[in-house]
């Protein structure tokens, strides 16, 4: 039992134990979770005889053959060994965006983006921007960029939005939900052509 802090601020244990402390310690020593259920299981286990399992004969190891064994064929060196170790330098995609998950631009899956005329290598600040500029020389959808960069869609949207704000990318308009009559006519023509097939 603790007697309280001494002059140094430490608690000291009193060697003289009270009968109350002994009784309390005895209660805690007997207490276990599910103690009633274990006791019943043990009694049942003592009452029931253990099932006898016949011993299995040990299998004899195979004898070595008299013929010389062929050496396993050497496999060609793997392509992975030619690539530099990237596991140690792997950066999580959301670290590229600083943890941001939304872009200031509304970019849908099918939104087309391409590099603008003002996109020069000197203006590209980050490695990801160089990769995106290379991919978007020709118009590509946001989904394509995400797949080719092998990053989650949210990360691709943030990176593309950042580049669009800097004027490095052109974001092409997508067909909105209302749709213009020319787009509806085009879709009707495509649908009728598919039906004729």
Per-residue pLDDT of the chain (197 residues; tens, 9 = 90+): 555 556 665 555 555 556 666 666 666 566 555 555 555 555 555 666 666 766 676 666 666 666 666 655 555 555 544 555 555 456 666 666 666 767 777 888 888 888 887 776 766 777 777 888 888 888 899 899 999 988 888 888 888 888 888 888 888 877 665 556 677 788 888 899 899 88
Per DSSP, the three-state class of 23 is helix
Are the beta carbons of 14 and 2 closer than 8 angstroms? Answer: yes
Question: In this predicted structure, what is the pLDDT of residue 2?
Answer: 53
Just give the CATH number of 107-175+183-197: 1.10.10
Sequence-ordered alpha helix ranges (H) in the chain? 19-30, 35-47, 93-96, 127-135, 142-149, 153-165, 181-196
Write b or e for each residue in 138-177: b if 16 or more Cβ atoms lie within 10 A of its Cβ, otherwise e: eebbbebbbeebebeebbbbbbbbbbbeeebbbbeeeeee
pTM of the model: 0.44
């Amino acid at each position: 039992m603790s007697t309280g802090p001494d002059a140094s601020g430490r608690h000291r244990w009193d060697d003289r134990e009270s009968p109350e402390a002994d009784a309390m310690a005895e209660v805690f020593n007997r207490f276990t979770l599910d103690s009633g259920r274990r006791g019943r299981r043990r009694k049942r286990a003592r009452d029931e005889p253990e099932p006898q399992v016949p011993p299995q004969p040990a299998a004899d190891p195979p004898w070595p053959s008299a013929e010389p064994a062929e050496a396993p064929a050497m496999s060609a060196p793997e392509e992975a060994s030619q690539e530099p170790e990237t596991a140690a330098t792997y950066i999580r995609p959301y670290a590229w965006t600083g943890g941001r998950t939304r872009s200031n631009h509304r970019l849908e899956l099918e939104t087309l983006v391409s590099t603008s005329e003002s996109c020069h290598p000197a203006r590209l600040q980050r490695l990801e921007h160089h990769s995106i500029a290379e991919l978007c020389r020709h118009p590509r959808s946001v989904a394509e960029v995400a797949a080719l960069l092998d990053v989650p869609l949210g990360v691709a949207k943030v990176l593309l939005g950042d580049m669009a704000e800097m004027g490095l990318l052109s974001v092409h308009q997508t067909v909105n939900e209302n749709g213009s009559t020319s787009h509806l006519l085009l879709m009707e023509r495509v649908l009728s052509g598919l039906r004729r097939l």
